[in-house]
Chains A and B, each alone.
Chain A
Amino acid sequence: MSMSDMTYRDALNLALKEEMRRDPSMVVWGEDVALYEGSFKVTRGLLAEFGEERVRDTPISENTIVGVSIGAAMGGLRPVAELMTVNFALLAMDQIVNHMAKIRSMFGGQTHLPMVIRAPGGGGSQLGAQHSQSLETYFMHCPGIYVAVPATPADARGLLKSSIRDNNPVMFLEHELLYNSKGDVPDDPEFLIPLGKAEVKREGRDVTIVAYSRMTILALEAAAELEKDGISCEVVDLRTLTPLDSETFVASVKKTGRAVVVEECWHAAGLGGHLASIIAEECFDRLLAPVRRVSGLDVPMPYSRKIEKLCIPQVETIAAAVRETLSQKY
């Protein structure tokens, strides 16, 4: 398979362009996605290639961006809308939760919504409390929508293409700190990563780290550090939160007997609790230590660099959690 080294941003951009070329019913819109080419430049070059019929700037009306996408999807199009940041998805929660997630079911399966809502998010850029949130649990909590959380450029490309082709509505959450990250990406225009398939990003024998999005990258760094001390970590990247591929991480935990779950979102009622409960239910007799969670701190994100860092899981905190779980014995 031929590969190109490219950024997460460019991988997403390529996926959008390829799918737009492939499917004339696909439209892209959002705040500043056309003329300005996207606040994070993921939509660069789209307006020039596809014109303003298909690539459109919208008013700052997040709830309506989602609602118009829903209507367009029901009307036979395949919209991919960008919310400038996931923080603004909170203004669109009515359309996301009450409409996008419910329409197929409450209308008895008589329609479907082939649409994607892309939303950059995550913390660590000193953007303050209102621009640094990790809201993946909010969407994962709601049946009726899929949630994609790619960690690498290859996954970004393969998952976005699958999300666009899928006939279910997808919340596609990109991490702002990953846009410049680079990696090998298959050139094949049919390179797709199925929704609902986690990946073992690194094999190991002593402990399983379950992560997603940027936390996968940090988990891999932690695993590399720990290896120096002879600790062998298996890193499972969820890639999508809904559908959740619990089989893959359950199998891994059964193999290693120990689990550390890493989430960037808040600890209280975060998705890590859900993952930990699945592990507890499925692997209880195989666990050699309690499941540990590494989460964002339960505080609104502070601006100051020094204390912002405390609020987001770091390589060291993940490594420390691994060491702690290894220190416990039953």
Chain B
Amino acid sequence: MESKLRAILSDDDLLRMYEQMVLSREFEESCAEQYAKGHITGFLHLYSGQEAVAVGATAALRRDDYILSAYREHAQAIVRGAEPLRVMAELFGKATGICKGKGGSMHLFAPALSFMGGYAIVGGQFPIAVGVAFAAKFRKEGRIAACFFGDGAVNQGTFHESLNWARLWELPVLFVCENNHYGIGTSVERASALPDIHRRTCGYDIPSERVYGMDVVAVHEAIKWAAEWVREHNRPFLVEAITYRFRGHSMADPGKYRSLAEVELWKSRDPIPAFGNRLVAEGIATETQLEGIRQQALATVAEAVAFAEESPWPEDGEVWEDIYV
């Protein structure tokens, strides 16, 4: 806690990041409630605990940089600017959803925000991110593609094929591994011959860095630096953010493969109060302000739930739409 926050970011930026983390958390906790009520069905993978990664990383990217994610992507979409109303409606399967109710929790997409989707096949987004980066470079747009993935994805062939390809063709891809320690119920140590994921890029001559992913400012700094490096060199880089999910893999998972002590230890590292305390300690915000931010987030989420509840279902004819151009 030595670095002073104001030396790194403006008060507005810092408060905005806090707001986004709180909104992400409240959104996810509300999703859990709506799932319990049966309003959200199917698979639901929540992001609680990992907020510092999406928020710190997104704030460090340019608005037009592409973001691709996996199936735990609600926060990534919302932080990028997707309306919570339409994300919640999507989870409810309503016609007003961000993908008209056809995608659901795992397939959020907002091209106007350069948010290029949530993909639900582990590692499926790697080559797509490489292709998006190719297009950006080909069209000389100066954008990079940030590709988010979990620790489980690095053992897919796509990870290795895509790293090789991105380096070979010198493409601006920023690989961001959210190492939350588990691929469903299998710990990274039990799944990866080399659990230090950032070290795995050496086979592809791609530089990498590890960052403490429970610290939003640390993530911001690491991604900022890495993104600029990628932009400047037109070459890939990998950042491994060490984080933790507070809930099970999905709502169907009670998470019994983790000890209570382990979960409690990581909960004590919760990125939201940690960051809030710093903001207060450094005089950037008061406790009252932070509580105000939380109340605002709760109101936004309540509004999103009401919107989703009141929204219409898709018409039957919609089932034939949007498949072919």
List chain A positions with a Cβ less than 8 A from chain B: 27, 53, 56, 58-59, 61, 63-64, 66-77, 79, 94-95, 98-99, 103-112, 143-144, 146, 166-168
The number of residue pairs between A and B whose CB atoms lie closer than 8 Å in the complex comes to 136
**Identity of the chain A residue whose Cβ is nearest the Cβ of B128 in the assembled complex:** A71
CB within 8 A of B322: which of A73, A108, A166? Answer: A108
Would you call A69 and B131 a contact (CB within 8 A)?
yes
Would you call B131 and A75 a contact (CB within 8 A)?
yes
Residues in A with CB closer than 8 Å to B145 are 71
CB within 8 A of B161: which of A64, A72, A106, A107? Answer: A64
Using a CB-CB cutoff of 8 Å, which residues 120-145 of chain B contact chain A?
A: 121, 124, 126-136, 138-139, 145
Would you call B135 and A74 a contact (CB within 8 A)?
yes
Would you call B127 and A67 a contact (CB within 8 A)?
yes
Would you call A27 and B138 a contact (CB within 8 A)?
yes
Using a CB-CB cutoff of 8 Å, which residues 81-114 of chain B contact chain A?
A: 97-103, 107, 109-111
CB within 8 A of A72: which of B99, B101, B131? Answer: B131
The 9 A-B pairs of least Cβ separation, nearest first, read A71-B131, A67-B127, A75-B135, A109-B322, A108-B99, A107-B109, A108-B100, A68-B131, A61-B161
Residues in B with CB closer than 8 Å to A98 are 121, 124
Would you call A106 and B128 a contact (CB within 8 A)?
no
Residues in A with CB closer than 8 Å to B133 are 71, 75
Chain A: minimal CB distance from B255 (Å): 27
CB within 8 A of A59: which of B66, B100, B161? Answer: B161
A–B pairs, 16, beta carbons within 8 Å: A56-B169, A59-B168, A61-B161, A63-B127, A67-B126, A68-B165, A71-B116, A72-B134, A73-B131, A74-B116, A95-B127, A99-B119, A99-B128, A106-B107, A107-B107, A111-B111
In Å, the complex CA distance between A86 and B90 comes to 37
In Å, the complex CA distance between A64 and B161 comes to 7
Residues in A with CB closer than 8 Å to B117 are 103, 107
Chain A: minimal CB distance from B319 (Å): 10
Residues in B with CB closer than 8 Å to A108 are 97-103, 109, 322
Would you call B128 and A67 a contact (CB within 8 A)?
yes
Task: Report B140-165 CB contacts with A as 1/0, cut-off 8 Å.
Answer: 00000100000000000110011011
Most A CB within 10 A of own CB, among B103, B117, B119, B323: B323
Determine if B260 is an interface residue (Cβ-Cβ < 8 Å): no
Would you call B135 and A61 a contact (CB within 8 A)?
no
Determine if B321 is an interface residue (Cβ-Cβ < 8 Å): yes
Would you call A110 and B128 a contact (CB within 8 A)?
no
Residues in A with CB closer than 8 Å to B131 are 67-75, 79
In Å, the complex CA distance between A27 and B137 comes to 13
In Å, the complex CA distance between A256 and B88 comes to 56
Residues in A with CB closer than 8 Å to B322 are 104-105, 108-109
**Identity of the chain A residue whose Cβ is nearest the Cβ of B134 in the assembled complex:** A72
In Å, the complex CA distance between A58 and B101 comes to 37
CB within 8 A of B135: which of A72, A103, A112? Answer: A72
Would you call A168 and B324 a contact (CB within 8 A)?
yes
Determine if B325 is an interface residue (Cβ-Cβ < 8 Å): yes
In Å, the complex CA distance between A165 and B88 comes to 37
| Contacts A61-B164, A68-B130, A112-B325 supplied; 12 other A-B pairs, CB < 8 Å | A59-B165, A63-B157, A67-B124, A67-B158, A71-B129, A71-B131, A72-B134, A75-B132, A75-B133, A106-B102, A107-B102, A108-B103
CB within 8 A of B323: which of A27, A67, A104? Answer: A104
CB within 8 A of A107: which of B103, B135, B158, B165? Answer: B103
Residues in A with CB closer than 8 Å to B121 are 94, 98-99
Residues in B with CB closer than 8 Å to A61 are 161, 164-165
Residues in B with CB closer than 8 Å to A99 are 119, 121, 124, 128
Would you call A68 and B323 a contact (CB within 8 A)?
no
In Å, the complex CA distance between A76 and B135 comes to 7
Would you call B324 and A70 a contact (CB within 8 A)?
no
Would you call B102 and A68 a contact (CB within 8 A)?
no
**Identity of the chain B residue whose Cβ is nearest the Cβ of A72 in the assembled complex:** B131
In Å, the complex CA distance between A95 and B158 comes to 10
In Å, the complex CA distance between A70 and B99 comes to 19
Chain A: minimal CB distance from B144 (Å): 12
In Å, the complex CA distance between A259 and B107 comes to 44
**Identity of the chain B residue whose Cβ is nearest the Cβ of A79 in the assembled complex:** B131
Would you call A53 and B138 a contact (CB within 8 A)?
yes
Residues in A with CB closer than 8 Å to B132 are 71-72, 74-75
Residues in A with CB closer than 8 Å to B161 are 59, 61, 63-64
Most B CB within 10 A of own CB, among A67, A105, A144, A168: A67
**Identity of the chain B residue whose Cβ is nearest the Cβ of A97 in the assembled complex:** B121
In Å, the complex CA distance between A63 and B164 comes to 13
Residues in B with CB closer than 8 Å to A167 are 325
Chain B: minimal CB distance from A86 (Å): 19
In Å, the complex CA distance between A143 and B66 comes to 28
**Identity of the chain B residue whose Cβ is nearest the Cβ of A68 in the assembled complex:** B131
Residues in B with CB closer than 8 Å to A71 are 116, 127-135, 145
In Å, the complex CA distance between A123 and B194 comes to 43
In Å, the complex CA distance between A99 and B116 comes to 13
Chain A: minimal CB distance from B133 (Å): 7
**Identity of the chain B residue whose Cβ is nearest the Cβ of A77 in the assembled complex:** B135
Would you call B323 and A143 a contact (CB within 8 A)?
yes
Residues in A with CB closer than 8 Å to B129 are 71
CB within 8 A of B139: which of A66, A70, A75, A111? Answer: A75
In Å, the complex CA distance between A112 and B131 comes to 14
